[in-house]
Amino acid sequence: MSSSLRQPTRFAVFGVPMGLLTRALEKTPRPITLPYLLAQGGRPGEPATPDVILRSAKYTQQELPVRIARRVRQFYSLPFIVGTNPYIQEVARLYASSFAHLSQVKPIETLEDNDRFVEELQKLVDDHTEVVPTLSRGFLECGEYMDPEKITNFLNAALHSRIGIRIIAEQHLALSATANSARNGDKPSPARLSPTSVGIVDTAMAPADVIRQSSEYVRALCEATFEMAPEVVLEGQVDARTMGIPVHLDYVMTELLKNAYRATTETFLEQRRTGSGPSEIPPITVTLSSTPSHVSVRIRDAGGGIPPENMAHIFDYAYTTANAGGDAANGAGEDPMDVAAGAMQSTMGTLAGLGYGLPLSRLYLGYFGKSSLDLVSLWGHVRMAH
């Protein structure tokens, strides 16, 4: 084999030629804002026009490699013993492969070009579905070799970037889906086109509807785990609307309600065992409050609060109290690695996961810089507010 053929492999990062990566790193990612997504996405409730699709495709094709290249560099900067962990290597090579593949896609000039691009983009989104649980397993295995603060900084940057990458990709996929339905004479599904949506952005999102959907899902999980579940009571301005991305709110509400359902049910069962609690499981109360600038959501449960010694760690990655207190329903006595492996089968398939729910929820809410997640614990009082 000639030296010219060996050179790209010798000077490569996770299989990506260094020159290709360097050129992408010279570019700066453009900020993502909801107004920008709306301005580039066409009119609410209408299929995207060919001009909108081609403009979105160009933006997506240019922006994704720039962002993914930074993730490849970030993995390359890890300490050697951490970077060689098989799970972290798997994610690093997935990003590198995605970067190389997107960098080789020819410029999109026609709707037919976009159709092929959408197929590749959907595959990329699908391939990256398990990035979070795979990363969590990797850092669980090699956390002792890296300072906890540096791990937190790494994961904050990696997962924040992942949110942006998925917003760009899923927005273009959603716009393309509405355009293709119109082009083919099909009736768009409600998930793809609503009267107030522009791609994945809903200009008049109803938080109450999202919360009801999330609570139904978590209630089913709770009943499957404990054979009982509390009711969710919605109160306040339940007709409030705001602009946002429903799938983001759904993720956050699912994670918060998982905590509320589990804590409320476990506390009720313990009180019933000791004969010190109510006769029926208390409800979880969700209060909505709307102002011209924002909508607030408060969750209160009867889960007993969080021990003061745990409060400083609630937003730490991989921190979980799922097995605290010998809870058989959540795998008490099991090796944490086995519990993690089981939870990885689905990022939303158990009431107790890998300890990424709260920190990732905070990243989702704060992505556009206008929302926050606050948690107040009244330890021993059975009231907790998010």
Mention every residue, 6+ apart, whose C-beta is less than 8 A from residue 240.
Answer: 206, 207, 208, 288, 289, 290, 295
Q: With a threshold of 0.75, does the pTM exceed it?
A: yes
3-state secondary structure 325-386: CCCHHHCCCCCHHHHHHHHCCCCCCCCCCCCCHHHHHHHHHHCCCCCCCCCEEECCCCEEEC
What distance in Å separates the CA atoms of residue 178 and residue 197, rounded to the nearest whole number?
11
Residues of the chain with CATH 3.30.565.10: 206-385
Give the class (CATH, top level) of 206-385.
alpha beta
Residues of the chain with CATH 1.20.140.20: 3-194
Q: What average pLDDT does range 143-165 have in this prediction?
A: 93
Nearest in space to 252 (alpha carbons), one of 190, 207, 186: 207
> What percent of the chain lies above the pLDDT cut of 70?
83
Supply the pLDDT for residue 266: 93
Q: What average pLDDT does range 65-75 have in this prediction?
A: 96
**Which of 59-63, 208-212, 276-280, 305-309 shows the lowest mean pLDDT across its residues?**
276-280
| Res 327 pLDDT > 50 | no
| Res 190 pLDDT > 50 | no
Q: What average pLDDT does range 63-71 have in this prediction?
A: 96
Which pLDDT band holds residue 129 (cuts at 50, 70, 90)? very high
pLDDT digits (tens, 9 = 90+) for 221-242: 999 999 999 999 999 999 999 9
Supply the pLDDT for residue 3: 36
Mean pLDDT of the chain: 85
pLDDT digits (tens, 9 = 90+) for 332-374: 334 433 433 333 233 334 555 668 889 999 999 999 987 889 9
Which pLDDT band holds residue 386 (cuts at 50, 70, 90)? very low
For the chain, give the number of residues: 386
Supply the pLDDT for residue 334: 40
Q: Which residues pair with 236 in a beta bridge?
A: 288
Q: What average pLDDT does range 72-79 have in this prediction?
A: 94
Q: What average pLDDT does range 195-201 have in this prediction?
A: 94
Contact assessment for residue 43 and residue 197, using Cβ atoms and an 8 Å cutoff? no
| Res 188 pLDDT > 80 | no
**Which of 79-88, 113-122, 238-247, 319-328 shows the lowest mean pLDDT across its residues?**
319-328
Supply the pLDDT for residue 15: 80
User: Which numeric CATH code is attached to 3-194?
Assistant: 1.20.140.20
Q: What average pLDDT does range 295-300 have in this prediction?
A: 95
Which pLDDT band holds residue 12 (cuts at 50, 70, 90)? low
Q: What average pLDDT does range 160-167 have in this prediction?
A: 96
The residue among 163 and 372 whose pLDDT is bigger is: 163
**Which of 92-101, 325-334, 354-363 shows the lowest mean pLDDT across its residues?**
325-334
Supply the pLDDT for residue 322: 57
Q: What average pLDDT does range 41-62 have in this prediction?
A: 94
Contact assessment for residue 222 and residue 261, using Cβ atoms and an 8 Å cutoff? yes
Supply the pLDDT for residue 336: 37
CA angle (316 as vertex; 314, 322 as ends), nearest 5: 60
